[in-house]
Amino acid sequence: MNSIERIFALKVSLIMATRMLGLFMLFPVISVYATNDYNNTTPFLIGLAIGIYGLTQAFFQIPFGYLSDRFGRKPLLYIGLCLFFFGSILAAISTDIIYVILGRALQGSGAISAVLMAFLADSISEENRSKANAFVGFQIGLAFMLSLIIGPIIASISGLSGIFWSIALLSVISLTIVISLPHTKPINYYRLSIEEFKKILNPKLLRLDFSVFTLHLMLTSTFIVMPLILVENNIINIADNWKLYLPAMIMSFVGMVPLIIIAEKLQKTKLILLVSITLLIISQLLFYELKLNFTIFLIILTLFFIAFNTIEAILPSLLSRIASSSKRGLAMGVFSTSQFLGTFFGGAIGGLIYDIFNLNSVFLFTIFMAIIWWLVILTLPQNNNRSEK
């Protein structure tokens, strides 16, 4: 990448990473702290508080992506980040889980992920797009790692409200970065119709949409369970979670590098996707079967994150190569819709399974979904390098 592309990729990745940092800070603590911090709390409502963000994100991703094709990327970024900010404030001042759920829903209505991904693809040359997506994926992974460290510390000092105030501050930081982005002319207008949707709902793209759906369903469901497992098994104090998550994330980044190289340089994307899904299945089986202590938990968590980070980096790059440039915002919108639907269903169904059965039963659900996913990717065509016109 040249210097202009590197700077642009850095800014986009910072916007995405600061939003994700705020969102991910909730994951390791909400299922532990919500019962004490809020009235009327149940396991299902905790899962809904995690997942409702994904539902409203899913609902608004396609409109935001389409409108960004029509009116330009920056105006939609401003609108989305303002909605995210107001939702964070509502959740921060709430004392009842229902109002937290409403705040999370308002956060999710600021659905700018597709806009950011399309903006990145617009501004980076095709030969450098994989590098840019890998760079953004690395920044998101870094934000995820930091969130797992920072979230428990903030929660131990000021509870979940402190995390929501921190998220509001991060949204302001993201807005200042958007101001510095270049203005771009809108893409030629196209009418949003069934015919246009048919062009982006082809078998290749649908497999990628299902992939990101299942990936984030597994992530959300797993993070309903893992914090509670840590507490129930006295593996580590919640405030000291960083001693577990930090080495797991560092080792996972090291582990994902050769997989990304094989996928991108050697054009073995399908093989690496299948291998990564297999690693996810193994990690869920081990969580379900083994008696956990610190060392075993660390090894399984590392395995999970190697697979998760690899797939998270590969999918957007693959999508940008398959989707046509004129419909990229719309295609990214469908992709991001699928991602956040996965977040919603992972939280809602995971919380419901925990409420009806037990914690371990959630892993049976994620294993079942991952096996279906593996079979779907098995049918993915090998040649995924050309855009659909």
Whether the predicted pLDDT of 28 surpasses 70: yes
Count CB atoms within 10 A of the CB of residue 385: 11
Q: Six-digit token pair at 303?
A: 């395995």
Element (H, E) at 98: helix 97-108
CB contact at 8 A, 263 and 269: yes
Per-residue model confidence as pLDDT tens digits over 149-187: 888 889 889 999 999 999 999 999 999 999 988 876 665
Beta bridge partners of 96: 39
Q: Give the chain's mean pLDDT.
A: 85
Would you state the pLDDT for residue 186?
A: 62
Smallest Cα–Cα separation from 8: which of 131, 113, 95? Answer: 131
Whether the predicted pLDDT of 189 surpasses 70: no
Would you state the pLDDT for residue 388?
A: 41
Section 22-48 average pLDDT: 87
Identify the band that residue 5 occupies on the pLDDT scale cut at 50, 70 and 90: confident
Would you state the pLDDT for residue 389?
A: 41
Whether the predicted pLDDT of 3 surpasses 90: no
Q: Distances from the Cα of 95 to the Cαs of 40, 87, 106, in angstroms?
A: 10, 14, 17
Would you state the pLDDT for residue 196?
A: 66
Section 135-154 average pLDDT: 79
Would you state the pLDDT for residue 387?
A: 45
Distance CA 243, CA 149 (A): 8
Q: Six-digit token pair at 94?
A: 């709430």
Domains within the chain, CATH numbers bracketed:
3-378 (1.20.1250.20)
Angle at 96 (CA atoms; ends 155, 237), nearest 5 degrees: 25
Would you state the pLDDT for residue 172?
A: 93
Tell me which of 75-79, 331-335, 376-380 is least confident.
331-335
Q: What are phi and psi of 96, to 5 degrees?
A: -120, 140
Q: Is 271 left (phi over 0), alpha (psi -120 to 50) or beta?
A: alpha
Per-residue model confidence as pLDDT tens digits over 283-338: 999 999 998 999 999 999 999 999 998 998 888 878 877 766 656 667 777 887 88
Would you state the pLDDT for residue 327?
A: 66
Q: Exposed (0-12), middle (13-18) or buried (19+): which is 86, by Cβ within 10 Å? A: middle
Would you state the pLDDT for residue 241?
A: 80
Whether the predicted pLDDT of 386 surpasses 50: no
Distance CA 64, CA 110 (A): 9
Whether the predicted pLDDT of 355 surpasses 80: yes
Which amino acid type is present at position 65? G
The percentage of residues in the chain with a pLDDT greater than 90, rounded to a whole number, is 35
Would you state the pLDDT for residue 193?
A: 64
Q: Give me the helices (H) in the chain, please.
A: 3-24, 30-37, 43-71, 73-92, 97-108, 113-123, 129-179, 194-200, 203-232, 242-265, 269-289, 294-322, 328-356, 361-378
Would you state the pLDDT for residue 10?
A: 85
Per-residue model confidence as pLDDT tens digits over 238-253: 778 888 888 988 898 8
Per-residue model confidence as pLDDT tens digits over 93-119: 999 999 999 999 999 898 888 788 888
